[in-house]
Amino acid sequence: MDAQPNGPNHSPVGARITMEDSAPNPISDALVAFWKRFGPYGATALVTVGCMGLFWLLQVFITHSTFSGNFAWTLFLSRDVGIPEVEVSQGITPVIAQSEWDAEYGYHLANDPWLTNPDTVAHLDLPIHRGQAIFFPALSWGLAKIAGLPIVPPRLFLLLHWAVIAFGIGAVAGWLVRRGMSLLWVVPLATSWVMLRVTSHGVSTAAGDALIALTLIAVSGGHWCRFLIVGTALTLARPDAIFLTAGVTLATALKQTAWQTTLRGRPLVLLSAIPTAVPLLLVGVLHVRFPGEAVTLGIGLTPWQDWFSAISTGFGDGQIWASLWRIGLTAIALHTLVRCLRNWGQSPIATVGLLWLLGVILLPGWTWQTTINAPIAVGGVLLVSLFLTAIDSSALNRGLFLALTICHVGLIQGNLLQVGHWSPHQMVMQDQLNRPILDRELNSKLVDVTSSATWVNHTETLPLPTNLWKMFHRESIGFLVRLENRTQQPWHPLPQSGENTISLAVEIRNEAGDLVHQQRSVPICHSVAPGEAIEQVIPIALKRGKYQVRVSGYQIGIGWFDDANSANGSRYVLELK
């Protein structure tokens, strides 16, 4: 079986050892034959579906669908109106005024219509922090608007990331089948993403890695339109990837690419620079929109001492797997750089990889910064090395990948055991979401609770949009609920989760009295003295029909306030036409 060159204009590498020249491997040959039955597209589909199922199980059962990170772009267009008023009107209730790290505001997403755990917390970063990486936030914001959701559910945001990650792995699998290579090459990538990206901060980096894979596939196949689309999405999701897309422009200028287009010369080179130029233009737009605020791409120089000192201290602290992993990753990066130099002119991947690796090495503060104790450039380095394997494979290359995979497996268990940090209750404790509370007194179980609850923006009938999409979709109704404390004692906000937590609540039943939906708001965030009242928006997605609406207070431990006394709550009729 002859090795296939990486594009129609590239000659095979003569004396170098290729995957096909190595000793026969019955297991590898059997796997190659198995996947060839499905073809590249079948392999892509099967691997994508399998990975998506695995990753989503990981998301639901390991990380419990908690969320933190770049969420501000869902509200970016309304930012000038003010914070937190805009977020409150969108159904997001503020928990803290300002945190001590890179997020400006923390929000409790009890109003999320997809939410299953009422304790989920989200941090909203303003554009001055991570607003440049807008692809996934903007895409999820647009889908939420089309679906009529009042806010972007974190699950939708994470679902998009995991879907792209799964498709990226599937696309790499299809590329390997097309090249006649073993799918075992996917294992180092998959284990790397599972090890490093189990949190919501990490999935954005892993999704960027998947877009890097799709970009490299488009370049190696000469697919011009795919590169423009995927490359632009990549730089909008990972601004550090402009080194990689700039490498594509350089390869185009040197006529190393075989684009399937009639364009030639300078127009082709200029158009290939679009993915690189877009994030730079975005920074300019942010500077104009937010004058006086520091908006940059984050380029900076960071000493390598931190990286190498972590290797030595890891051995001393018993973190042997982590130190071995860092050594292996450094070796792969340097070996890949040598391979890019050696294959200069043989493949556009070598040119693209060379600029990417130079950016990684020379600007570690940008492309090599750590996210969840892992460099964000890991996936890009591994992918460039993998795509070079189609023309330049060796026993050393395979050995480094195998060693790194073993380190990944050794680290997975430890990383998964630490994700309790990301559980909702732990986030409340670690991020000190109770700081804005007016006092530190604990609330107790209410014995003789007296209150009044009203639906402030009540309307008996509400016409819904009549376009075809809305006719078959749920409409999110914002229930503005007001709860007044008529008890002789104040309601205190501690704890904000668990026993004795006080919330506002809405219950929806149909005409027959069957329960349709129950939704509690974020627990109260400050003390409510006797005679005082609090208001919160509780969006609930409903279909057309007639409903009975019940509003009241709710305390974990005693239930609905109006169960003991109907005067503590109110009931309304609602018809959605």
The predicted structure's pLDDT at residue 363: 67
Domain ranges, ordered by start, for the chain:
26-56+153-420, 451-576
Tell which residue, 228, 303, 308, 302, has the closest CA to residue 260. Answer: 228
Percent of the chain scored above 90 by pLDDT?
13
Q: Tell me: pLDDT of 89 over 80.
A: no
Are 55 and 68 in contact by the 8 Å Cβ rule? The answer is no
Residue 144: both structure tokens together: 């939420």
Give the span between the Cα atoms of 333 and 343, in whole angstroms: 15
At a CB cut-off of 8 Å and minimum separation 6, what does 448 contact? 487
Instruction: Decide which of 515 and 99 is more confident.
Output: 515
Give the span between the Cα atoms of 65 and 441, in whole angstroms: 30
The predicted structure's pLDDT at residue 364: 59
- Say if strands 451-455 and 461-462 run parallel, antiparallel, or are unpaired: unpaired
pLDDT, average across residues 157-176: 88
Q: Tell me: pLDDT of 106 over 60.
A: no
Highest averaged pLDDT of the listed ranges 147-161, 268-282, 554-568: 554-568
Q: Tell me: pLDDT of 143 over 90.
A: no
Instruction: Decide which of 363 and 285 is more confident.
Output: 285
The predicted structure's pLDDT at residue 214: 94
Percent of the chain scored above 70 by pLDDT?
62
Average pLDDT over all residues of the chain: 71
The predicted structure's pLDDT at residue 560: 94
Tell which residue, 189, 140, 147, has the closest CA to residue 163. Answer: 140
Q: Which amino acid is at 229?
A: I
Locate the DSSP E strands across 347-467. 370-371, 374-375, 451-455, 461-462
**What tens digit of pLDDT does each residue of 14-25 get?**
333 343 444 556
Residue 432: both structure tokens together: 């000190």
Are 481 and 446 in contact by the 8 Å Cβ rule? The answer is no
For residue 464, what pLDDT band results from cuts at 50, 70 and 90?
low
Residue 63: both structure tokens together: 């990380």
The predicted structure's pLDDT at residue 513: 92
| Burial classification of residue 205, based on how many CB atoms lie within 10 Å of its CB (0-12 exposed, 13-18 middle, 19 or more buried) | buried
At a CB cut-off of 8 Å and minimum separation 6, what does 258 contact? 7, 8, 9, 222
**What tens digit of pLDDT does each residue of 286-343 get?**
667 656 555 555 554 454 666 677 677 767 666 777 788 888 888 888 888 999 888 8
**What tens digit of pLDDT does each residue of 261-272 get?**
777 777 888 888
Q: Tell me: pLDDT of 465 over 60.
A: no
Q: pTM of the predicted model, to two decimals?
A: 0.63
DSSP track, 176-216: HHHHT--GGGHHHHHHHHHHH--SHHHHHHHHHHHHHHHHH
Q: State the sign of the Cα–Cα–Cα–Cα dihedral 445, 447, 450, 454.
A: positive
Residue 463: both structure tokens together: 């016409």
The answer as to CATH 2.60.40.10 being correct for domain 451-576 is yes
